Amino acid sequence: MSRIQVTYSGKVQGVGFRWKVLQISKKYVISGYIKNLNNGKVELLVEGTDSQVGKMVDEVDTELKNYWFSQECENKFGDAHFSEFSIKEY
């Protein structure tokens, strides 16, 4: 199992970024969330098998590349904390 947290910077709020990530997530067997942060960034947490997590993050990076200009990626340890993928409010 993998757990990866990615923080995106750029024009990622108010443009449907979270909704688009939610649509992409439906293609994969993963759990986690996408949420806006108070500092104008967006945080993505994806949990699942190495393959599914990697493919999901790669697709988000590629499909939404026009919205973000930098990202910070951090591997998280431990078991999955979520049972589904959702848009999380602040």
Active site (catalytic) residues: 18, 36
Residue 88 makes CB contacts below 8 A (sequence gap 6+) with: 33, 34, 35
Give the whole-angstrom CA distance, residue 83 versus residue 86: 10
Note whether 34 and 88 are within 8 A (CB): yes
